[in-house]
């Protein structure tokens, strides 16, 4: 299947941000459950950065507890000059044995987050639908699950983008959470730019995803 560009990457909510993500394309979608995740991330570095930025990919295993979340991979990019960049972030699939069996099928969330000096400056959330490749298996899911028959579809056209205010000049020795907890009243709060992963999971039951058919 070809890449699918996301639909919401406008101007950054915080105009002083040094990194502005302009687009994310979801590659290899739809795919088998055990296929790697691939995201093509385009972004602008608005001023030279002498330190790396870090990208992380988190798979939310259950709406009931974050103890089932899995960090699939992380990569460092930098140092960077003021310019436009494009990377392909590839990560292993989640371990299905760490996902509660009743949460394996249906809709969940995957989070692509950007960090600078351990401070999160952007979070891009996608809904992910997992189902079997045969209608009879979806109607009567087998026990134990047949992981190699699962198909994963990322709803790439419906990202949830949240940008966070951080101090890009703050020394790394200070607490990472300080910038997000002390946003000046004149600046927009993160909630104005998107939704949290918890809010996304609360919306899962109301979703009726229509995944694309698996291509062979």
Rg (CA), the chain: 18
Residues 9-16 have a mean pLDDT of 46
Q: What is the DSSP letter of 136?
A: H
pLDDT of residue 201: 58
Give CA–CA dist 215/25, Å, rounded.
18
DSSP 76-107: EE--B-SEEEEEEEEEPPP-GGGS-GGGSSEE
Each residue of 87-123: pLDDT tens digit?
A: 999 999 999 999 998 999 999 999 999 999 999 999 9
């Amino acid at each position: 299947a070809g890449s699918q560009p996301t639909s919401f990457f406008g101007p950054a909510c915080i105009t002083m941000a040094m990194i502005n993500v302009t687009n994310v394309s979801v590659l290899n979608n739809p795919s088998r459950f055990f296929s790697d995740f691939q995201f093509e991330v385009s972004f602008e570095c608005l001023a030279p950065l002498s330190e790396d930025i870090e990208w992380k990919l988190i798979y939310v295993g259950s709406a009931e507890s974050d103890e089932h979340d899995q960090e699939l991979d992380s990569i460092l990019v930098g140092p960077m000059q003021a310019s436009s960049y494009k990377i392909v972030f590839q990560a292993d699939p989640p371990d299905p044995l760490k996902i509660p069996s009743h949460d394996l099928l249906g809709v969940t969330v995957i989070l692509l987050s950007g960090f600078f000096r351990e401070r999160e400056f952007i979070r891009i959330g996608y809904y992910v639908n997992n189902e079997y490749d045969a209608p009879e298996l979806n109607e009567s899911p087998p026990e134990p699950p047949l992981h190699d028959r699962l198909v994963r579809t990322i709803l790439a056209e419906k990202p949830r983008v949240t940008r966070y205010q951080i101090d890009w000049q703050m020394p790394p020795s200070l607490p990472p959470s300080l910038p997000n907890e002390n946003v000046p009243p004149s600046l927009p709060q993160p909630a104005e730019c998107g939704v949290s992963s918890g809010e996304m999971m609360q919306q899962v039951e109301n979703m009726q995803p229509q995944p694309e058919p698996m291509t062979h």
